[in-house]
């Protein structure tokens, strides 16, 4: 099949995250199966117009992604218009069989359905109302508070407009978790038979895993890690407070926490770590290349995702499981679908610092439990969350709409 993928930005762009990483794995996985894959994205800060990586061709379009609330058809440089124009120019040269839209990125194609008769499958990683909830949680300043009105207007515009448009007009909608499935159905009233859950997959070969790995002894440092963006809604302050409580209850101890990532909340987190006397325990190494993170995850003992936001299906959890780490995660959004409580890790009520403290205490103090949960996590990941499983399911959907 010849497949076009539309996405807001790629791993070539600054500030990419889990969605862009998932798209890269998906595109390269499909290309590895012999499909011809093109990824269309706004250009932003990039210099080149086209490039190719691992058999995937990328087309970067000089455009403005954001629309002025309903006036996109009058804006010459708007992504909605230009994405359709660019696609048509490529489509005329050699016909595409199917289009994948990451979130609403393929809306321009859907609006030109009379001209573009290629079936569209859209992928939803979350919902507008959950995104708005996250924006509320990220408020840090009076300026952020003043922007609530704009954010509410934007959320309502997308709730009644773009989200409903791309969900209801796509041939099929793929969602990354049961949680997202329920949210999308409730917010758009789409026929539930048109929505399919496909969990994000990871290539095990990309993640270093030592089967005979020896967990930290009770006398050596137990190493914790968080990987992700550093926003208020990610709940890292909860993790610091829970860690502080553990040290208070148990005295000075050999534990360490690496908070890997970047974001607008990092300085406040550093201030909190200083205030809680955690500077000897916590490091903020900044954003590390994804490949390096995957190589070093196995060096740690526990992965923690203390999020307060309704995550669709966090890839970092699955990556940690492939590295053989037990995962402590907030039971919110799609996180409980990845972590089997008391088997592959521990879940707790999001925002409940006392429960998070108990989870930390349980795993830090019991090296055998860490080892057993780590083995179970690796086994679960191999059985449910491999890239091959994900690509198999995507191929089935794409071939189905192509008929």
Q: Name the helix (H) or strand (E) containing 269.
A: helix 266-275
* Average pLDDT of span 270-274: 98
In the predicted model, what is the mean pLDDT of the chain? 89
Task: Say whether pLDDT at 147 is over 70.
Answer: no
Residue ranges of domains in the chain = 2-201+386-402, 205-384
Domains 2-201+386-402 and 205-384 share a fold: yes
Question: In whole angstroms, what is the distance from residue 86 CA to residue 290 CA?
Answer: 31
Q: In the numeric block, which tokens belong to residue 277?
A: 């006397």
pLDDT at 187: 86
Under 8 Å between Cβ of 302 and 359: no
Of the pLDDT bands very low, low, confident and very high (cuts 50, 70, 90), residue 168 is confident
Q: What is the full DSSP assignment across 40-52? A: EEE-TT---SEEE
* Average pLDDT of span 181-206: 92
Under 8 Å between Cβ of 42 and 14: no
Question: In whole angstroms, what is the distance from residue 307 CA to residue 336 CA?
Answer: 12
Nearest to 246 by CA among 284, 278, 283, 279: 278
DSSP 118: S
pLDDT at 138: 53
pLDDT at 204: 93
- Higher-confidence position of 189 and 378: 378
pLDDT at 24: 97
* Average pLDDT of span 321-330: 98
Task: Say whether pLDDT at 16 is over 90.
Answer: no
Question: In whole angstroms, what is the distance from residue 310 CA to residue 235 CA?
Answer: 11
Q: What is the CATH number of domain 2-201+386-402?
A: 3.40.50.2000
Of the pLDDT bands very low, low, confident and very high (cuts 50, 70, 90), residue 122 is very high
Residue 173: count other Cβ atoms within 10 Å of its Cβ.
27
Q: Which strands form 56-61's sheet, in the order they lie side by side?
A: 50-53, 56-61, 36-42, 2-6, 98-102, 120-124, 172-175, 195-197
pLDDT at 74: 58
Q: In the numeric block, which tokens belong to residue 316?
A: 């970092």
pLDDT at 132: 45
pLDDT at 325: 98
Q: In the numeric block, which tokens belong to residue 315?
A: 């890839």
Nearest to 131 by CA among 190, 64, 187, 191: 187
pLDDT tens for 36-87 read 999 999 999 999 999 999 999 999 999 998 655 555 555 778 999 999 999 9
Question: In whole angstroms, what is the distance from residue 181 CA to residue 199 CA?
Answer: 11
Tell me if residue 263 falls in helix, strand or coil: coil
pLDDT at 72: 54
Determine how β-strand 56-61 pairs with β-strand 98-102: unpaired
Of the pLDDT bands very low, low, confident and very high (cuts 50, 70, 90), residue 133 is low
Question: In whole angstroms, what is the distance from residue 19 CA to residue 316 CA?
Answer: 11
- CA-based radius of gyration for the chain: 22
Q: In the numeric block, which tokens belong to residue 319?
A: 């990556």
Task: Give percent of the chain above pLDDT 90.
Answer: 72
Task: Say whether pLDDT at 136 is over 60.
Answer: no
pLDDT tens for 198-250 read 999 999 998 988 766 555 544 578 999 999 999 999 999 999 999 999 999 99
User: For the ranges 166-175, 355-364, 367-376, which has the lowest average pLDDT?
Assistant: 166-175
**Residues with Cβ within 8 Å of residue 76, at least 6 apart in sequence:** none
DSSP 401: H
Q: What is the 3-state secondary structure (H, E, C) of 179-227?
A: HHHHHHHHHHCCCHHHEEECCCCECHHHCCCCCCCCCCCCCCCEEEEEE
**Residues with Cβ within 8 Å of residue 204, at least 6 apart in sequence:** 322, 381, 382, 386, 387
Under 8 Å between Cβ of 226 and 283: no
Tell me if residue 399 falls in helix, strand or coil: helix
Task: Say whether pLDDT at 265 is over 90.
Answer: yes
Determine how β-strand 255-260 pairs with β-strand 282-286: parallel
Q: What is the CATH number of domain 205-384?
A: 3.40.50.2000
Determine how β-strand 56-61 pairs with β-strand 50-53: antiparallel
Counting beta carbons within 10 angstroms of the beta carbon of residue 285, is it exposed (0 to 12), middle (13 to 18) or buried (19 or more)? exposed
pLDDT at 86: 95
How many residues does this entry show for the chain?
403
User: For the ranges 138-147, 199-208, 268-277, which has the lowest average pLDDT?
Assistant: 138-147
pLDDT tens for 283-325 read 999 999 999 999 999 999 999 999 998 889 999 999 999 999 9
Q: Which residue's structure tokens are 């270093």?
A: 208
């Amino acid at each position: 099949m010849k497949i076009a993928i539309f996405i807001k930005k790629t791993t070539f762009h600054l500030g990419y995250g889990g969605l862009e990483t998932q798209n890269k794995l998906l595109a390269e996985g499909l290309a590895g199966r012999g499909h011809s894959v093109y990824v269309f994205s706004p250009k932003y800060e990039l210099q080149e117009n086209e490039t190719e990586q691992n058999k995937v061709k990328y087309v970067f379009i000089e455009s403005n992604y954001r629309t002025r609330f309903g006036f996109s058809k009058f804006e010459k440089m708007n992504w909605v218009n230009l994405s359709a124009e660019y696609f048509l120019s490529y489509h005329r040269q050699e016909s595409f069989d199917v289009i994948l839209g990451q979130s609403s990125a393929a809306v321009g194609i859907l609006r030109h359905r009379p001209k573009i008769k290629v079936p569209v499958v859209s992928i939803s990683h979350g919902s507008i109302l959950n995104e708005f909830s996250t924006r509320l949680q990220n408020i840090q300043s009076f300026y952020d508070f003043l922007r609530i009105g704009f954010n509410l207007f934007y959320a309502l515009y997308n709730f009644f407009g773009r989200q409903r448009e791309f969900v209801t007009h796509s041939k099929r909608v793929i969602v990354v978790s049961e949680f997202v499935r329920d949210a999308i159905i409730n917010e758009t009233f789409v026929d539930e038979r048109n929505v399919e859950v496909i969990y994000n997959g990871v290539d095990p070969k990309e993640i270093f895993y030592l089967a005979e790995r020896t967990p930290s002894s009770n006398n050596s440092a137990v190493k914790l890690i968080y990987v992700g963006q550093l926003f208020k809604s990610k709940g890292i302050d909860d993790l610091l407070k829970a860690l502080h409580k553990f040290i208070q209850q148990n005295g000075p101890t050999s534990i360490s926490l690496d908070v890997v990532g970047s974001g607008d909340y990092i300085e406040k987190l550093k201030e909190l770590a200083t205030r809680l006397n955690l500077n000897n325990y916590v490091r903020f190494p900044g954003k590390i290349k994804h490949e390096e993170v995957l190589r070093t995850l196995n060096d740690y003992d526990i992965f923690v995702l203390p999020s307060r936001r309704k995550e669709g299906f966090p890839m970092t959890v699955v990556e940690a499981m492939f590295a053989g780490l037990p995962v402590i995660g907030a039971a919110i959004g799609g996180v409980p679908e990845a972590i089997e409580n008391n088997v592959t890790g521990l879940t707790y009520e999001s925002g409940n610092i006392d429960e998070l403290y108990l989870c930390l205490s349980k795993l830090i103090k019991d090296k055998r439990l860490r080892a057993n949960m780590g083995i179970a996590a690796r086994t679960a990941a191999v059985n449910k969350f491999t890239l091959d499983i994900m690509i198999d399911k995507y191929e089935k959907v794409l071939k189905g709409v192509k008929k």
